């Protein structure tokens, strides 16, 4: 019944789809996690281009880059001649999508989400768009099982603060309803910052009040040693328990925040970083 | 004729002009003289509408404020004291700006004739910025002349308002420019000129308004106005007025009283 | 049109008369624009092969949907919009420089850019909070509409502040513009603070400008506004020329100075507002183009304004071609291209005018 409904919806959404399955299909993937899912599904041979945020696995960087997912240019997209576009929620702008629809190119938007269920939904949606729902169901089940298998129960969960950037001494941290908030929860931590949604600059006092036990940041190019020193010497950070134990975790941004097939790995990595191998 | 009645004018809260009365006839050159800060230029600016004033200024009986800008421009041209240019126009382009105002004559040879008139023949292609101060002043005069080329039109006088037209000029060009103004008046036009040089004024003006501290001291012909008494009162120093010995009959000429200075 | 109005289509050569030169440059720029329009229709991320499709279409042969969409739904509106935006930015710059009697003035001086920017920022950040009925009405064009409204409101505000007893002081307008700029900057700061990660990205891209969002709808809405504004400029030429001698002298030359200021300010607010609304922040066109032309044909607005329109259009189409091919299939925001050309040029203008500015 469910399958019937899905295939019906597919037929409605992508009228050209049933034909293109057999024709040589050219898939454009927009969004880092979407591209990862295409690879995880083993459908990477159909990919002909990607957006700027798609950087994993490394081979994907050999594909043409049609620009940042929220600022796509219609001709840039058409120039790679895709027959199917799979895009993360929030891709755009609207004008571009409108033109692409005018060109009869199926544009599938994959809903975003930051919890265990969202990962499975995403995988299944991408697989559906690619016409490989069985592979999707299998991968979704695998990833979900990995997430379920994670033993993240701890006696005393750590208070974790995710810092997006420290530009100019200003701490930009994650509140609730973000990928960072989601992965902290999956790893068995507690987000230390809950007063707002999204990523916002925190006042020094709010940093002190949040009192994180651990700070999580994305890896970046450059000298982490000196960057770490700079972080610990920040007046507000230096008052936190994290500074006393020098507890800083750096993880690749796409791995940590992508909410794709590598999310179990990200959660496990973060969990062990938070609580040690025990 | 131009008639200014009971002109009062303040800039900010500072009163500049007090109950000034002024008349100028067409066919005459009327000069406005007085010491620095006496309100000569301010009076001219009131009459040209550049500064808001109380009182009435009429041109041939009509309030100038009631005359639409284009028709006023066709009858009256104003030569400002200093005229910088925002952009690098050529001399010809500047003089042509006068053409745009005249409603009748659009003779495209006028600018060149006007330039020749003020002694700038052959300067057409020069950049205005590259001219000397005196050349710029004469270039502006040519523009003004182009605007009201005919001293009378349709039986009405055209008017030239000149703010210190010879201040930057050497003696030769002073005479040249004053002669142009004189001929304009002789041909039936009206000329009003703010002047510094009393001797030039004496030689060329039919009527002179002498001002001091924003008030009229006296208006009349040269023999009346340019007296030891009026001038000493207005300028605050003793001057001796003499009668020119040469061809200019009965024109007074003025020398400061040296005894006061030594 | 302005030239015919001048009554001297091909005037005899005369020292100091640069009309013939200007006519030659006008023809040159018109040809350049034509070339740019054709190039803009044939050059793009998908290559130049579409020239054949265009010929095929012109000769009545059927062409593929993809080619059709690229030519008629992407390149055609983008080319037309780019030309109109370029023309309006350049002409607005020339008008502002004439009005403020300063070769470095730009439409930003009347607050239209700051206001439009704030409008766009508010629409991007607060757009989601709009009442649903309003959101349905404005749809995906909330940002352009808000930008246009913001530009207009701030211009009207500045104009009101600077106008006393029926006279508008350009000096007061300039200073009030600085104050308004600070205020809009502060409000924009609040918006940036409130913005989430994605909105911040959108703000950045909007500020860098792009013609990528060109659609027929945008062209039909913004196009008439820009054309209307451009159509009024021939009537400003004489007044702006006279204004170079100062406001008082312009008045004595019979120019209705106050009315001219009104028209000039409204024209610029309309043209720039519409241009910024559909293309975001594109800098320097308004300074580079008129200044370059003044160097070759002189400052007479009778020629400067129409030729600025032609050259501005050609310049922006050229910049847009760079923007959409240099990193294809991705796209470099066009503001980066114009600023890369315009920034050094602006510096050069400053250096050249250093002596004058110190006076």
Expressed as residue numbers, the domain containing C203 is: 2-7+19-358
Of B74, B84, B88, the CB nearest to C299: B88
Same domain, A41 and A130: yes
Residue A80 lies in a domain: yes
Structure confidence at residue A19 as a pLDDT band (50, 70, 90) = very low
Which residues from C are below 8 Å from B70, CB to CB? 254, 256
Structure confidence at residue A256 as a pLDDT band (50, 70, 90) = very high
* pLDDT on residue C134: 59
pLDDT above 90 for A17: no
Same domain, A190 and A131: no
Which residues from C are below 8 Å from B89, CB to CB? 244, 298-300
Give mean pLDDT, residues C211-235: 90
Same domain, A127 and A96: yes
More confident residue, C50 or A144: A144
* pLDDT on residue A94: 83
The overall average pLDDT reported for chain B is 89
Residue A85 lies in a domain: yes
Q: Domains in chain A: how many in total?
A: 2
pLDDT tens profile B194-224: 999 999 999 999 999 999 999 999 999 988 9
Any idea where the domains of chain B sit in the sequence?
2-261
Q: Which two tokens stand for residue C281?
A: 């922040």
Residue C151 lies in a domain: yes
Q: Give the dihedral sign, CA C338/C343/C345/C350.
A: positive
pLDDT above 90 for B247: no
Residue A135 lies in a domain: yes
C103 — contact with chain B (CB < 8 Å)? Answer: yes
pLDDT above 50 for B177: yes
Q: Closest Cα to residue A233, out of A246, A220, A222?
A: A246
Using the structure block, give the residue that is written with the tokens 């939904």. A121
With H, G, I as helix, E, B as strand and everything else as coil, classify residue A108. Answer: strand
Same domain, A141 and A36: yes
Q: Domains in chain C: how many in total?
A: 1
Residue C186 lies in a domain: yes
Q: Which CATH topology does B2-261 take?
A: Rossmann fold (3.40.50)
Tell me the C-alpha distance between C154 and A104, whole Å: 42
Q: Which residue, among C212, C327, C335, C336, would best test binding to A if mutated, counting the most A CBs under 10 Å from its CB? A: C212
Strand (E) or helix (H) holding B47: helix B40-48
Strand (E) or helix (H) holding B217: strand B215-220
Which residues from B are below 8 Å from C294, CB to CB? 87-88
* pLDDT on residue A8: 40
CATH of the domain at C135: 1.10.3470.10
* pLDDT on residue B142: 95
Give mean pLDDT, residues C42-53: 76
Same domain, A14 and A84: yes
Same domain, A54 and A86: yes
* pLDDT on residue B242: 80
Q: Complex ipTM, two decimals?
A: 0.89
φ, ψ at C234 (rounded to 5°) = -55, -30
Q: Closest Cα to residue C316, out of C148, C89, C26, C91?
A: C89
Structure confidence at residue C137 as a pLDDT band (50, 70, 90) = low
3-state secondary structure A134-183: HHHHHHHHHHHHHHHHCCCCCCCCCEEEEEEECHHHCEEEECECCHHHHH
Tell me the C-alpha distance between A90 and A109, whole Å: 8
Residue C12 lies in a domain: no
Give mean pLDDT, residues C339-350: 79
Same domain, A139 and A217: no
B3 strand-pairing partners:
B23, B58
* pLDDT on residue A199: 85
B12 — contact with chain C (CB < 8 Å)? Answer: no
> Among A148, A179, A194, which residue terminates a domain?
A148
Cα dist from C142 to A165, C193, C351, whole Å: 31, 21, 41
pLDDT tens profile C308-317: 999 999 999 9
pLDDT above 80 for B261: no
Residue A51 lies in a domain: yes
Q: Following DSSP, what letter does each residue of B163-201 receive, concatenated?
A: ESTTTT--HHHHHHHHHHHHHHHHTT-EEEEE-S-HHHH
Task: Give the CA count within 13 Å in the CB-facing half-sphere of A27.
Answer: 25
Tell me the C-alpha distance between A81 and A68, whole Å: 18
The overall average pLDDT reported for chain C is 84
Q: Following DSSP, what letter does each residue of C98-158 receive, concatenated?
A: HHHT-TT--GGGGTHHHHHHHHHHHHHHHGGGS-HHHHHHHGGGHHHHHHHHHHHHHHHHH
* pLDDT on residue A20: 42
pLDDT above 50 for A3: no
Tell me the C-alpha distance between B165 and B168, whole Å: 8
Q: Closest Cα to residue A125, out of A112, A142, A114, A116?
A: A112
Q: Which two tokens stand for residue A43?
A: 């459908």
C101 — contact with chain B (CB < 8 Å)? Answer: yes
Residue C340's CB: how many other CB atoms inside 10 A?
A: 14
Tell me the C-alpha distance between B181 and A146, whole Å: 102
pLDDT above 70 for A198: yes
* pLDDT on residue A24: 67
Residue C345 lies in a domain: yes
Tell me the C-alpha distance between B146 and B97, whole Å: 9
Residue A154 lies in a domain: no
Which residues from C are below 8 Å from B105, CB to CB? none
Tell me the C-alpha distance between B215 and B9, whole Å: 11
Same domain, A242 and A117: no
Of A70-84, A262-276, C44-58, the least confident: C44-58
Under 8 Å CB-to-CB from A166, ≥6 apart: which residues? A172, A230, A231, A234
CATH of the domain at A132: 3.40.50.1980
> Among A124, A148, A172, which residue terminates a domain?
A148
Q: Kindly provide the residue ranges of all beta strands, DSSP E only, lying in chain C, ordered along the sequence.
A: 163-164, 167-168
Displacement of CA C35 from its chain's centroid (Å)? 20
**Residue C244 distance to chain B (closest CA, Å):** 5
Rounded to the nearest 10 degrees, the angle between the axes of helix C142-162 and helix C112-126 is 140
Expressed as residue numbers, the domain containing A9 is: 2-148
Residue C137 lies in a domain: yes
Of C193, C218, C329, the CB nearest to A80: C329
């Amino acid at each position: 019944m469910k399958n019937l409904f899905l295939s019906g919806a597919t037929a409605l959404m992508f009228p050209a789809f049933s034909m293109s399955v057999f024709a040589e299909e050219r898939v454009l993937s927009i969004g880092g996690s979407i591209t990862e899912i295409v690879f995880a599904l083993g459908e990477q041979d159909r990919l002909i281009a990607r957006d700027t945020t798609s950087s994993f696995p490394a081979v994907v960087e050999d594909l043409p880059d049609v620009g940042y997912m929220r600022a796509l240019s219609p001709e840039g997209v058409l120039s790679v001649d895709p027959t199917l576009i799979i895009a993360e929620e929030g891709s755009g702008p609207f004008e571009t999508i409108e033109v692409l629809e005018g060109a009869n190119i199926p544009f599938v938007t994959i809903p975003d989400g930051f919890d265990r269920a969202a990962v499975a939904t995403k995988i299944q949606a991408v697989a559906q768009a690619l016409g490989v729902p069985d592979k999707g169901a299998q991968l979704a089940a695998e990833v979900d099982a990995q997430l379920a298998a994670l033993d993240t129960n701890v006696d005393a969960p750590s208070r974790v603060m995710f810092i997006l950037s420290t530009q100019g001494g200003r701490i930009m941290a994650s509140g609730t309803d973000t990928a960072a908030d989601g992965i902290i929860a999956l790893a068995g931590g507690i987000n230390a910052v809950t007063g707002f949604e999204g990523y916002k600059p925190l006042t020094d006092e709010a940093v002190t009040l949040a009192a994180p036990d651990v700070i999580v940041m994305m890896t970046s190019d450059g000298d982490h040693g000196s960057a770490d020193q700079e972080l610990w010497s920040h007046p507000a950070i230096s008052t936190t328990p994290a500074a006393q134990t020098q507890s800083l975790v750096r993880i690749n941004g796409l791995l940590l925040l992508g909410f794709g097939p590598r999310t179990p790995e990200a959660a496990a990595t973060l969990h062990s970083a938070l609580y040690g191998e025990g | 004729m131009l008639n200014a009645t009971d002109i009062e004018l303040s800039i900010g809260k500072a009163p500049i002009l007090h109950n000034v009365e002024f008349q100028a006839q067409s066919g005459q050159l009327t000069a406005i003289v007085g010491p620095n800060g006496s309100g000569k230029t301010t009076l001219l600016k009131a009459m040209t509408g550049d500064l808001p004033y109380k009182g009435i200024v009429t041109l041939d009986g009509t309030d100038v404020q009631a005359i639409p800008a284009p028709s006023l421009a066709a009858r009256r041209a104003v030569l400002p004291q200093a005229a910088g240019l925002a952009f690098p126009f050529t001399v010809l382009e500047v003089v042509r700006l006068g053409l745009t105002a005249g409603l009748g004559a659009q003779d495209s040879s006028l600018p060149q004739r006007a330039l020749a008139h003020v002694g700038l023949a052959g300067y057409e292609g020069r950049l205005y910025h590259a001219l000397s101060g005196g050349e710029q002043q004469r270039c502006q005069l040519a523009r003004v002349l182009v605007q009201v080329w005919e001293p009378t039109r349709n039986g009405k006088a055209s008017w030239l308002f000149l703010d210190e037209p010879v201040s930057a000029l050497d003696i030769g060009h002073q005479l040249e420019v004053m002669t142009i103004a004189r001929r304009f008046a002789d041909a039936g036009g009206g000329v009003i000129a703010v002047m510094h040089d009393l001797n030039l004024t004496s030689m060329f003006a039919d009527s002179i308004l002498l001002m001091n501290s924003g008030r009229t001291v006296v208006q009349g012909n040269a023999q009346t106005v340019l007296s030891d008494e009026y001038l000493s009162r207005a300028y605050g120093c003793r001057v001796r007025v003499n009668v020119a010995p040469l061809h200019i009959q009965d024109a007074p000429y003025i020398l400061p009283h040296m005894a006061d200075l030594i | 049109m302005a030239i015919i109005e001048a009554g001297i289509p091909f005037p005899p050569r005369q020292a100091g008369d640069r009309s013939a030169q200007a006519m030659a440059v006008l023809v040159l720029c018109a040809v350049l624009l034509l070339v740019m329009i054709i190039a803009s229709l044939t050059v793009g991320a998908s290559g130049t092969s579409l020239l054949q499709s265009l010929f095929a279409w012109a000769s009545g042969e059927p062409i593929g949907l993809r080619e059709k969409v690229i030519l008629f739904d992407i390149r055609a509106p983008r080319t037309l919009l780019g030309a109109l935006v370029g023309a309006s930015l350049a002409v607005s710059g020339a008008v502002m420089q004439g009005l403020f009697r300063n070769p470095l003035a730009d439409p930003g001086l009347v607050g239209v850019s700051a206001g439009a920017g704030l409008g766009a920022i508010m629409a991007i950040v607060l757009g989601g909070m709009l009442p649903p009925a309003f959101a349905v009405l404005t749809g995906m064009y909330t940002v352009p509409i808000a930008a246009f409204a913001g530009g207009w409101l701030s211009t009207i505000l500045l104009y009101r502040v600077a106008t006393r007893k029926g006279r508008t002081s350009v000096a007061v307008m300039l200073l009030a513009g600085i104050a308004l700029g600070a205020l809009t900057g502060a409000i924009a700061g609040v918006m940036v603070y409130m913005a989430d990660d994605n909105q911040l990205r959108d703000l950045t891209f909007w500020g860098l400008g792009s013609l990528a969002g060109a659609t027929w709808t945008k062209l039909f809405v913004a196009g008439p506004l820009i054309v209307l504004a451009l159509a009024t400029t021939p009537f400003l030429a004489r007044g702006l020329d006279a204004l170079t001698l100062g406001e008082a002298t312009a008045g004595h030359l019979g120019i209705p100075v106050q009315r001219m200021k009104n028209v000039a300010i409204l024209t610029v607010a309309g043209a720039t507002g519409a241009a910024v609304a559909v293309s975001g922040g594109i800098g320097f066109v308004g300074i580079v183009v008129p200044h370059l032309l003044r160097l070759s044909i002189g400052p007479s607005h009778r020629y400067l304004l129409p030729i600025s329109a032609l050259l501005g259009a050609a310049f922006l189409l050229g910049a847009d071609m760079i923007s959409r091919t240099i990193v294809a299939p991705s796209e470099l925001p066009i503001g980066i291209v114009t600023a890369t050309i315009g920034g050094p040029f602006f510096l050069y203008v400053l250096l050249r005018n250093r002596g004058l500015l110190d006076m």
